[in-house]
Amino acid sequence: MPTIDTSDHDVSPISSPALSRVNSRNSAVSSLDISPISSPVFSPTQVSSSGNGAPGSDTATTTSYDHSFTDADDWFGRFRDDLDISDECPDRGQLAVAGQVPVYDANGNSRLFSTFFTGLDAIGDRQFIIFVRHFYCGACQAYMKAIAEAITMQAYYTMRVPTNIVVIGCGSPSMIPFYKQATGCPFPIFADPTRKLYKALGMTLTLNMAGPKRPQYMKDIPLYQWQVKQWSTMAKPPKGTSRFKGGNLLQIGGEFLFQDGQVVWCHRMKNMRGHAEVDVVKRVLELED
């Protein structure tokens, strides 16, 4: 198996001249922002949905609380129908649009998304890009911890095909230091606060919290505990962070593998804890145990 010389290979992002910030205005759906709710679960009187819960439908209905739900898992069960989201790779047109969206590092410096997978700034023969939800999401934090444990620096530097790994969230760039500390993520982290990149690559909004089963990367984290922790963190955010800068609470993400400027594999989340399992990621990246 070919190896990478760690003395020459830098996993940190390559700096580029600052690009002008884009207008953060978007369509009514993509600009939707949800303020944190004081309860550890969504209050049914505050959540509107129609059909499968996707925003933007013509009809919106408000769900009243049903006291027949006996516990958190039972209550969250109403949101467990997975969205019908395709894992089809983005075409060249979608990538052209996505490539022009700027993402930001912790210092607010920007670079076009296309520089991650094309041109002289692209690192490695492949690029694996993980899109997480808002920076307070405990499920995504658990996922990034599991990824960091599975893909050690030794495994990273000895991949069969040299692959750069990047993480992108939908909150404020100022939240990146908090997220890096909370997850122990060793990979570069960027932010797309406009969420235009998420939209261009086919990632959407959802009310679906749980999905049909608990993912392996959350095997030791019950659903209620996950919700309570993130709401309590947002209610009393760590020093230097803001409850309003974590990102849109309904945005879901996914994972994309680029090679030669094209997406060769992808997975889009269908619920709020629907990342591709770590074992799947290891197979996709051809990592051997």
pLDDT tens digits along 189-213? 999 999 999 999 999 999 888 777 8
pLDDT band per the 50, 70, 90 thresholds, residue 137 = very high
pLDDT of residue 88: 95
The closest alpha carbon to 36, from 247, 222, 238, 179, belongs to 247
State yes or no: pLDDT of 56 exceeds 90: no
Neighbours of 151 (CB within 10 A): 21
| For the chain, percent of residues with pLDDT exceeding 90 | 55
pLDDT band per the 50, 70, 90 thresholds, residue 221 = confident
State yes or no: pLDDT of 162 exceeds 60: yes
Beta-strand relationship, 102-104 and 163-169: unpaired
* pLDDT tens by residue, 12-46: 433 333 333 333 333 333 333 333 323 333 333 33
* pLDDT tens by residue, 70-104: 444 444 444 445 566 889 999 999 999 999 999 99
- Mark out the alpha helices in 4-101 (DSSP H runs): 72-76, 92-99
| For the chain, percent of residues with pLDDT exceeding 70 | 65
pTM, 2 dp: 0.70
CA-to-CA distance for 179 and 133, rounded, in angstroms?
Answer: 11
Amino acid identity, position 126: R
**Residues 92-284, CATH architecture:** 3-Layer(aba) Sandwich (3.40)
pLDDT of residue 83: 60
List the Cα angle 87/282/124 in 5-degree steps.
85
Q: Are 132 and 144 in contact (CB under 8 A)?
A: yes
pLDDT of residue 214: 83
State yes or no: pLDDT of 109 exceeds 80: yes
Residues 137-149, mean pLDDT to the nearest whole number: 94
pLDDT of residue 92: 94
| Domain edges within the chain | 92-284
pLDDT of residue 230: 67
Residues 156-173, mean pLDDT to the nearest whole number: 96
pLDDT of residue 198: 97
Q: Which residue has the higher pLDDT, 229 or 75?
A: 229
The closest alpha carbon to 141, from 239, 47, 244, 253, belongs to 253
